Structure 1
Amino acid sequence: MASPFLSFSLLFISVYAADGFREYMVTSCLFSSTKLEDIEFIDSYYYNKMELITFNSTVGKYVGYTEFGVKDAERWNSGPDLDQEKAERERYCLHNVGIFYQAALTKSVKPYVVMSSTTPPAGKRPAMLVCSVFDFYPKQIRVSWRRDGQEVTSDVTSTDELADGDWYYQIHSHLEYAPRSGEKISCVVEHASLKEPLVTDWDPSMPESERNKIAIGASGLILGLILSLAGFIYYRRKARGRILVPTN
């Protein structure tokens, strides 16, 4: 479930001329573990979004992509700059990757699941179940469906992991199906934060929309009874306080 490569980058921007022309450098560390041999160091130089020259620790030298970059690559590969760049993988990446692992990648947040049903337009399957998984971290996750204990491999579509913008993610999986009496349908979530898969069973006894309508109606009925009772008590108290005056 883990991604084969993760990365972090630093962006340095320096303005050397007027009219918005910029030369900048992007330094990246790609890694699949905290071991030095699993880390790749990349240093890229740009001018107005055009990549001029790049050093890659896997390649072991500078590579130029423009006429200007090729000339610089030849010069830098034959000087002390190359040895300095080769040392950056250990000096810069190894230290920061360790910090990044401890600060973020070793943390995880358990997801929660909401299941619902929709009715597709006429001419399609009679029903569709939606398994929505919210607020999980890290990004890697697996969502599957089971019918009577067997994994469903057809009529299933899922979104990509969607970033909420606050380090959390969400994903939505859809199952098209024809309901059968007595069957059991479940949404299964596997994630790094869970010791065992999170299984949520679908309750087909009543559609969610109908349950909401009943809940709203019941709330309204209870509120009406409370108001009626309060009015009756108020009326009785007022009636007791009246003084009857006899008339001829």
Structure 2
Amino acid sequence: MASPFLCLCLLFITVCTADGFREFYAIRCEFNSTELKDIEFIQSYFYNKLEYARFSSSLGKFVGYTEFGVKNAERWNKDTGQLAALRAQKETYCQHNIGLWYSGFLPKSVKPTVRLYSTAPSAGRHAAMLLCRVYDFYPKTIKVSWLRDGQEVTSDVTSTEEMEDGDWYYQIQSHLEYTPRSGEKISCKVEHASLQEPLITDWDPSMPDSERNKIAIGASGLILGLILSLAGFIYYKRKARGRILVPNH
């Protein structure tokens, strides 16, 4: 798979106390390898959430986005010493830290867990819908697709974006609307950096989820009933042995 596009950010915030206005600048490195040609150093300046100026190593100078920003960019671009220092950050700051990321964090990956469910279809022309839930994977980039008798399905598929779980892992969901055919085979295919080969999970249409749940609940109740009955029988036998029979005179 292609290397994921990554961003390393360092944020500095300066708060002005007068009337609660805020100004801050953000430094970030955007990259897809450790090579200098694949790295961009960006320093952006914001006022009340609006970016008004930016230095980009790709341009080698400041660019203004508002009237105030244009004036400041023109003034800053005259300072050759400042421009040289910022251009050097691409190598001294970005490449150095990116190397640490690649050696310490990026090679690590966690295989996804995949679950297939049937769900009620939305109002449309298809009679059935499947949900492929993929979760607890890392890194973020992943590809989820559907196969029907071994052929990739390109229509009636809806997928979410990769979502953070809040614990460094990610999850994604994909829906397939379809009209069932006898003897067909439908599968959810997952491709991820943690996998040596695509992970393919087949859908078993032999029994709806609702029926499986009913059987599971019924079986659990039967087992619990047998356990309680056995416990009652054992208790009764023990009590019977402990009784003392007194003869009548």
Q: TM-score, normalised by structure 1?
A: 0.90
Amino acid at match of 2:56: N
* Inter-CA distance 82–227: structure 2 relative to 1 (3 Å threshold): same
* Inter-CA distance 154–242: structure 2 relative to 1 (3 Å threshold): same
Q: How does 1:153-168 map to 2 (within 5 A)?
A: 153-168=154-169
* Inter-CA distance 17–141: structure 2 relative to 1 (3 Å threshold): same
Query: Is the 2:121–2:177 Cα contact (8 Å) retained in structure 1?
Result: no
What is the alpha-carbon distance in structure 2 between the residues aligned to residue 102 and residue 48 of structure 1?
A: 37
Equivalent in the alignment of 2:15: 15
Shift of 1:49: 2.5
What is the alpha-carbon distance in structure 1 between the residues aligned to residue 56 and residue 123 of structure 2?
A: 56
Query: What do the CA deviations read for 1:88-130 (whole angstroms, capped 9, x no partner)?
Result: 1111111111112223322211001111112336774221111
Equivalent in the alignment of 1:241: 242
Q: How does 1:15-54 map to 2 (within 5 A)?
A: 15-54=15-54
Amino acid at match of 1:98: G
Query: What do the CA deviations read for 1:128-168 (whole angstroms, capped 9, x no partner)?
Result: 11111111111111111112222222222211112112221
* Aligned partner of residue 105 in structure 2, secondary structure: helix
What is the alpha-carbon distance in structure 2 between the residues aligned to residue 238 and residue 74 of structure 1?
A: 98
Q: How does 1:1-248 map to 2 (within 5 A)?
A: 1-2=1-2, 5-79=5-79, 80-120=81-121, 124-247=125-248
Q: TM-score, normalised by structure 2?
A: 0.90
Structure 1 residue ranges without an equivalent (≥5)? none
Structure 2 residue ranges without an equivalent (≥5)? none
Shift of 1:184: 1.6
* Inter-CA distance 164–77: structure 2 relative to 1 (3 Å threshold): same
Q: Which stretch of structure 1 is more off in the superposition, 217-226 or 101-110?
A: 101-110
- Give the CA RMSD over aligned residues: 2.1
Identity of matched residues, %: 71
